[in-house]
Structure 1
Amino acid sequence: MAKFRNAKSYYGNTAEARKRQRANLIPGNAWDKRRRKKLRLDCWWEVMPLGNIQEIYEMYVNKRVIEDTPKREIKDEKYLDEWWEELTIEDKEWIHKWD
């Protein structure tokens, strides 16, 4: 008699086990997956309007909304792009999920 596995034993009991299972289904090695993730996040950043980018920066760095920011403290696009490049992939992912 064949023993069938139930969904719980296949995925594991924790959210982390299910996350690892899904990650294993994505083709490619770890470097390739990380590179694709970085490219996806950078593309998301590039297509956003400047106003949204400034708002994200103010909320992430200064913990305030853009309306409370004096005009002289609003950063330009070049500064914001350099700031984005300095962030780690984990921080970029957190910002993407938060937005």
Structure 2
Amino acid sequence: MFVRIVKMSFHEENIPKFLENFELMKEKIRNAPGNRLLELYQDKQNPEIFFTYSYWETENDLENYRNSELFYDVWQFTKKLFNEKPEAWSVDKLVSLV
């Protein structure tokens, strides 16, 4: 299992649009084959910055999602709202204490 972290920064006036669309799409994203967790975070110091954390069974599962119509729809809507280029990392989880 690995984690995909995406950092996104939005124009302030676009934040409600982003959150509304995320609310509509989050269950579909979470139910994509191979997805095990989806979380959304907002930066405490700069409320224009958001992060998504998604856990995937395999890199192939993420790639299948990234090539899906669902991802296309989500990304086409979301990318118009950015005020900076998004950043993304794929990382392996080494330790988790719950």
Q: Give me the TM-score of the superposition, normalised by structure 2.
A: 0.26
Q: Which has the higher contact order (CA 8 A, sep 6+)?
A: 2
Structure showing the higher helix proportion among its residues: 1
**Which structure has more strand as a fraction of its residues?**
2
Using the size of structure 1 for normalisation, the TM-score is 0.26
Larger Rg: 1
